[in-house]
Structure 1
Amino acid sequence: MSRTSTQEVFSRTAQQAAKAVISNYSTSFGLATSLLGSSHRHHIRNIYALVRIADEIVDGLAADAGLGVREQYALLDDFASATRNALRSGVSDNLIIHAFAETARAAEITVDLIEPFFASMRADVAAPGEPLAPVRSFHPDELRDYVYGSAEVVGLMCLRVFLLDQHRTPAQIEQLENGARELGAAFQNINFLRDLADDSQRLHRSYLTAASRLTDSDKSAWVKRIRQQLSYAEGTTSLLPKDARAAVRGAAALFAALNDKIAATPVDHLYRERVRIPNVVKASLAAKAVMLTMKDGRP
């Protein structure tokens, strides 16, 4: 078998592995990604897979395997180091990292986005040698940096994929980058609210307040902020290439529906149970996003 054939088979297998990650971990993002044009779809799956695996390392995978804090930190560092090496060489023996590296090199996703992401993942592991506090709270500056690294840079990674072989003015690129960051932050903030039960009880984290628990007033303020973030991002969607808009709109609509449901749910309930959107509603929102995009012109 020639080297080219070897690479093709391995890369195809890596992409299949990345597709399996999104299929098994998120029906919502899986549905949204299916609305993308074929030139973007596998790249976005590759990004999601890498981000998800890193997130799983710090959200229980390592701890459930019996690893101590130092070992968890080392496992994440090894994953980050392998990602950096793959960005330089274009190859990894880890299928998920290999798939991501191919996307990163094609879309010029560089360390300026990779490093903040892994810094945020490290924030979810207690520093080596330090005891785990009963609840880890994030102060506003810490939260800002955490959300940038864990979510906004992921939006910027996806944007670089969407803009492959596209021409946009510097002003349009700035608008799109701001929109990608706002959308990523909105998604993350919604996840913080819907995951209050798991974050507080299992992971002992309090992202949205320096106190141990949110109040209903706190929750309402976050819901309002999220609506503003989603609204800003929506205003930039028409600047995306047309074969990316339905997916972005569909994902945004789903998270807007989650935000509305959170708004109507008492905060005490959120600390007991995760709110969900029925699959039939997800399908309806995706269909509406497709229909709206079909009416669009080019940017």
Structure 2
Amino acid sequence: MTSKATTPQALYQRAAQDAAHTVIRQYSTSFGVATAMLTEPVRTHVRNIYALVRVADEIVDGSFDPAPIPHLTAALDALEAEVAQAMDRGFSTNLIVHAFAHTAVTCGITDAEIAPFFASMRRDLGDPYYTAEELSTYIYGSAEVIGMMCLRAFAQAPDVAPTQRSTLVADNIDAARALGAAFQKINFLRDLAADQGELGRYYFPDVAAKGLTEPVKNKILADIEHDLDVARQGIARLPGSSRGAVKAAYLLFTSLTRKLRRASCDELRTRRLRLTTPHKAVVLARSALPTTPRPRIQHSAGWTDSKALTHP
């Protein structure tokens, strides 16, 4: 029974948001900690976005294994159609879809971001080899548009005036895309063993053609570091309601990138690298320090010094 102060619609919305939060807690402890640093309503919107992304990922990454490819494609098609219907009607019987649709309508997320995302998810069910152009298209849909969606959520924060929301998005869209792309490429490199050995996917064309060698690894990392540098320059422009959380995610992934650079190719071919819990705790503590933009610091390995974010 609901109280007089709680409408059925509000109760259902809260249940949908709680379901999205549960998905995030189950699948990503680091991401869960980072999103906890966001203020409301941004925190809930970002969780709603990532919960839908996680469900789509699970369709293509084996939760329904050994379902035949046509069944998985049909499941993705049905999920995309359900999202569109929920955005139009304002309701879905699928709690995760309902939560995402509420966020999409509130934040101005449209089919311009949603369609490329589902297109990339379908691509995971197709040819396991990618050309450079195909990989770029895939990363745009699977990661860059997620950064764009989150940026639209950041613009809904109480410390962003309604008249400034479109400017915030326009000024930071390149950084949001770059951060999403960097995260995706980092995950591709750290998940190399599972992607190739278990899923039979070869995202990096050079790895498929030449194998993972030091020159190939360094080329991939240089590309990642360029994306991270573009993203870093946008963090200081974010509102306080989202800056700390984005910085925390950035620092976690830059630390992981450093670990990938130190790792041998044999390590990357055989196991997934992780940050230890104490290391994560230190990085998250650093993210609370003031953000001061600094010029890029070039090291011999071509690395952008993340200390520029934490030491004014």
Q: CA deviation at 1:226?
A: 1.0
Q: Residue deviations 1:129-165, cap 9 Å, x none?
A: xxxx7xx111111000000000000000000011125
Distance in 2 of aligned mates of 1:38 and 1:168:
18
Going from structure 1 to structure 2, the CA distance change for 1:168 and 1:199 (only over 3 Å counts) comes to same
Q: Residue deviations 1:42-93, cap 9 Å, x none?
A: 1100001000110110000122xx3211111111111111111111111110
Q: Percent identity?
A: 43
Query: Is contact 1:208-1:214 (8 Å) kept?
Result: no
Residue pairs, 1:37-186, within 5 angstroms: 37-63=39-65, 66-126=66-126, 136-164=128-156, 165-166=160-161, 167-168=163-164, 173-186=169-182
Residues 1:292 and 2:294 are matched in the alignment: no
**Of 212, 215, 233, which residue of structure 2 is paired with 1:214?**
212
Deviates more, 1:214-223 or 1:24-33: 214-223
Provide the aligned C-alpha RMSD in A: 2.1
Going from structure 1 to structure 2, the CA distance change for 1:88 and 1:202 (only over 3 Å counts) comes to same
Q: Residue deviations 1:265-289, cap 9 Å, x none?
A: 1122111100000111112111111
Distance in 1 of aligned mates of 2:167 and 2:46:
24
Query: Is contact 1:242-1:293 (8 Å) kept?
Result: no
Distance in 2 of aligned mates of 1:39 and 1:103:
10
**TM-score, normalisation: structure 2:** 0.87
Distance in 1 of aligned mates of 2:90 and 2:165:
30
Runs (4+) off by over 6 Å: none
Distance in 2 of aligned mates of 1:172 and 1:10:
31
Distance in 2 of aligned mates of 1:204 and 1:10:
40
Q: Residue deviations 1:195-222, cap 9 Å, x none?
A: 0011001110010125253222111111
- Give the corresponding residue for 1:280: 278
Q: Which amino acid aligns with 2:266?
A: D
Distance in 2 of aligned mates of 1:26 and 1:20:
10
Distance in 2 of aligned mates of 1:69 and 1:19:
29
**TM-score, normalisation: structure 1:** 0.90
Deviates more, 1:210-219 or 1:75-84: 210-219
Residues 1:193 and 2:195 are matched in the alignment: no
Distance in 2 of aligned mates of 1:175 and 1:258:
27
Query: Is contact 1:197-1:270 (8 Å) kept?
Result: yes
Distance in 1 of aligned mates of 2:82 and 2:35:
26
Give the number of equivalent residue pairs: 286
Distance in 1 of aligned mates of 2:271 and 2:169:
39
Deviates more, 1:245-254 or 1:275-284: 275-284
Residues 1:251 and 2:246 are matched in the alignment: no
Give ranges in structure 1 of 5+ residues lacking alignment: 127-132
Distance in 1 of aligned mates of 2:109 and 2:166:
18
Distance in 2 of aligned mates of 1:225 and 1:68:
35
Distance in 1 of aligned mates of 2:219 and 2:136:
16
